Amino acid sequence: MPNSQLVHILLAEDSETDAEMTMRALRKINLKNEIVWVRDGQAALDYVFHEGEFVDRPKRVPKLILLDLKMPKVDGIEVLQKLKSTASTRQIPVVMLTSSAEEQDIVRSYELGVNSYLVKPVEFDRFVEEVSKVGCYWGILNKIPSNI
């Protein structure tokens, strides 16, 4: 896959342990993609919309967003709502990667347009395995519009 087609991934996760395991899982399947990690929902929005500390970053949008639900400052639901209500970011695939298996969180996420909802397994090996599958599907197999 040429570098220009590599999926640029934004990981919004407040847990350092979960972020490291997620990135390790994605590297395990040899994804060469750039992964940018932010620690809260406000930073995720700032990154996507080139605001705050990310105002000067290169003008490109992530091709995939892995979004935690429960984050400080702005939670995953609010981030998802903003992303899916803005024409320039609406088509970016968003995978909710969370520890919440509550039905109301799942329903609300899908109502707002999440593309996939994954409950993080507690066991390390299962976590790595499931995140690897997600990375393989969304980073390699899934096709996205060329305008993203």
- Residue-wise pLDDT for 10-69, tens only, equals 999 999 999 999 998 888 887 777 899 999 999 999 999 999 999 999 888 898 999 999
The span from the CA of 147 to the CA of 26, in Å, is 24
Collapsing DSSP to helix, strand or coil, 47 comes out as helix
> What pLDDT score does 4 carry?
42
Contacts of 83 (CB under 8 A, 6+ apart): 48, 65, 89, 90, 92, 94
Helices (H) and strands (E) in the chain — how many of each?
5, 5
pTM (two decimals): 0.90
- Closest listed residue to residue 67, CA positions, set 126, 141, 120, 123: 120
Helices (H), 49-137: 76-84, 103-111, 124-136
- Residue-wise pLDDT for 77-92, tens only, equals 999 999 999 999 999 9
Contacts of 146 (CB under 8 A, 6+ apart): none
- Closest listed residue to residue 41, CA positions, set 69, 7, 4, 6: 69
In angstroms, what CA-CA distances link 52 with 43, 48, 63, 111? 8, 11, 21, 28
43: number of Cβ within 10 Å: 24
